[in-house]
Amino acid sequence: MNLSRLALPFFLLPATSTLADSFERDQALKLPDTLISANRQVEARNDSSAANTVFTREDIDRLQPGSVTDLLQRVPGVQVAQAGGRGSLPGIYIRGTQSAQSLVLVDGQRIGSSTSGDSNLQHLNIDQIERVEVLRGSRSVIYGSDAIGGVIQIFTRRGNEQGLQPRLHVGFGSNQTWERGLGLSGGDDKTRFNLGASLDDTAGLDRTHESYPSDGDHDAYRNKSVSLSLSHALTDDIEVGANLLDNRGKSEFDSPFGTYQQQPYSDFNVSSINSYFDARVNNTWKTRVELGHTENREKTLDKLSDERTVFNTYRDSVNWQNDLTLDARNSLILGGDWYEDRINSDFDDFGKRISLDEDSRWNRAAFIQHRYQADSFSTELGLRHDDNQQFGSQNTWSGTFTLPLNPDNDLLLSYSEGFRAPTFNDLYYPDFSNPDLKPETSKSYELQWRSQLSDSSRLEASIYRTDLQDAIIFGSNSRPENVASARINGFEAALKQELFGWQSNLGVAIIDPRDRDTGHTLARRARRTMSWDLDRQFDRLGVGASWQLVSGSYDDLNNTQPLGGYGTLGLRSNWALNREIKLDLKIDNLLDKGYSRALYSYDGSQYGYREEGRAWVFGVTWTPGL
């Protein structure tokens, strides 16, 4: 990637001595009651039509998650099914949809693989993240393909408002886990920046119970991460900037599916870079242009053989959005997207080195969304047109009607459409693909209730239904086909409350995800989940606990391979020794619960992937004053 190639056009704009009053987006990223992802603009969370959950950097420091997936498990309606401990590939199911049916962004850029459809969220280092926003429900009008189940957006860390602030973090824990991170952030009235680097590694655990003897070793994981954010105000109304996140490392895993002994591992790289130009043209018109480049690269190797598999995705993108305030009641979003995917594949097919037949495709789109705000109700109506190089045109639209019952209670009724284009593997993988596939499509209906129960209590609840058509599954001939249709009914609720100094966040979800042809429950979707975080700060000492419950599910579409339900309990604490030094301690899975979230086959039997038992991490963070 070439940072200067993307950022240079904006930094060549004429400079000015006028100071900016504020960095609107940078400031919004640090606030819990704002939202950016729903409409690609800063807005109040309660003004957005999307069911959403937000984690700020303050939340991340308090909850002490080991990864992004640890955070996602706390979101009602989101389930995570990993295949064995830290660094393993997770299945992310938002409202019962599969991983490839939800869009993952880093600073506005798509990071999903165009070959597998996975986003490799497990490799994004939590220390380099400022904020995570999760939208539940289709947002295809704004984002196009893949946003059927929802959108997950990760924002890299941002600079401080004034002065310089260094930071240093060192942590160690069970399974020979080490966390190391350092950073420097700062700024003035015109410029803000943040530069950070992290190195995490762990000896891991043996991810499989029964497998080849060569798979009996612990599966180690190593992650090196670098992030950079830079923003500069040319005038009060013009801002330019760039953001970079690069994660790379090595992940060992078990492969019980092979025909000979193996010790496989993957070298991975997930990276994103973007530059932007943000301007307020006048009192009614704001415009933003973003240029982006992402890479999702993975090379799988084996210590005991010459086997090698390469699947690399490269994506360039341009987004232009215009936010128009027409009058006191009407506003409009007008925008256009373009992105091009390129792949480099190289793998073994019965002793012959081959690659996929096609290696690139582009997509271009235009979208419009109108919002009307009356005294007693509001509406939102959006339409998008996509033109894909392989699949032609696709139109999607959405609409929301909001009814304020009183100042503390709102009802929202919405309808949205979505689609997902097949991946390169779906279309071109030799002997296991189908070039005649059509895009998957969806229709979703939702009723939300948002209530400020008291000054210290807030409830957000949703009832929804999603219908999937032309869903892609592997048929009896081991090739993907557009034969499946699914119906997902669900209920989810989030209750945030403060009582006697304790901060409580409770999330519950009940779903009924079914294949409409067979009546079977969709694979790896638990019908009931609950997450509860309870925290309190006693002057310099903070304590907290997390409790998660997941009901049973099935590992296969035929519902013949059950996965047991489970519950885990975690404890955490932090202690500020002084203004510069803070100590953190967390214990995950305190009761040492054994459980599996995915199965594998070996020697004709089914076994569950191991998840980490009781595990602890102790850390020290130093933020010296300058």
Domain boundaries, the chain: 3-622
Tell me, what's the pLDDT at 368? 98
**Based on the number of CB atoms within 10 Å of its own CB, is 259 exposed (0-12), middle (13-18) or buried (19 or more)?**
exposed
Query: Distance (Å, rounded) from C-alpha 28 to C-alpha 272?
Result: 21
Angle at 260 between CA 258 and CA 262, to 5 degrees: 80
Mean pLDDT of 390-410: 94
Q: How confident is the model at residue 471 (pLDDT cuts 50, 70, 90)?
A: confident
Query: Distance (Å, rounded) from C-alpha 86 to C-alpha 561?
Result: 24
pLDDT for 5 beyond 50: no
CA distances (Å), origin 7, targets 154, 181, 227: 20, 26, 15
Cβ within 8 Å of residue 103, ≥6 positions away: 110, 112, 139, 143, 145, 146, 147, 150, 151, 152
Q: How confident is the model at residue 531 (pLDDT cuts 50, 70, 90)?
A: very high
* CA dihedral for 361, 308, 123, 3, sign (positive or negative): negative
Task: Copy the structure tokens of residue 441.
Answer: 């499509």
CATH 2.40.170.20 for domain 3-622, yes or no, is: yes
pLDDT for 601 beyond 90: no
pLDDT for 36 beyond 50: yes
**Based on the number of CB atoms within 10 Å of its own CB, is 507 exposed (0-12), middle (13-18) or buried (19 or more)?**
buried
Task: Copy the structure tokens of residue 111.
Answer: 């990071």
Tally the C-alpha atoms within 13 A of residue 27's C-alpha that lie toward its C-beta.
10
Distance of CA 154 to the CA centre of its chain: 6
pLDDT for 6 beyond 70: no
Distance of CA 13 to the CA centre of its chain: 33
Tell me which of 254 and 623 has the higher pLDDT: 623
Tell me, what's the pLDDT at 352? 62
pLDDT tens-digit map of 427-445:
988 878 888 899 999 999 9
Mean pLDDT of 38-44: 95
Q: Give the CA diameter of the chain.
A: 72
Query: Distance (Å, rounded) from C-alpha 441 to C-alpha 470?
Result: 7
Tell me, what's the pLDDT at 18? 33
End-to-end CA distance of the chain: 33
Tell me, what's the pLDDT at 20? 37
Tally the C-alpha atoms within 13 A of residue 136's C-alpha that lie toward its C-beta.
30
Tell me, what's the pLDDT at 3? 40
Q: Which residues of 12-29 are buried (b: 16+ CB within 10 A; e: fewer)?
A: eeeeeeeebeebbbbebb
Cβ within 8 Å of residue 508, ≥6 positions away: 76, 492, 493, 528, 529, 530, 531
pLDDT tens-digit map of 226-248:
999 999 999 999 999 999 999 99
Percent of the chain scoring above 70 in pLDDT: 94
Mean pLDDT score of the chain, rounded to an integer?
91
* CA dihedral for 237, 154, 120, 4, sign (positive or negative): positive
AA letter at 171 = G
Distance of CA 273 to the CA centre of its chain: 16
Cβ within 8 Å of residue 40, ≥6 positions away: 108, 142, 288, 319, 321, 333, 335
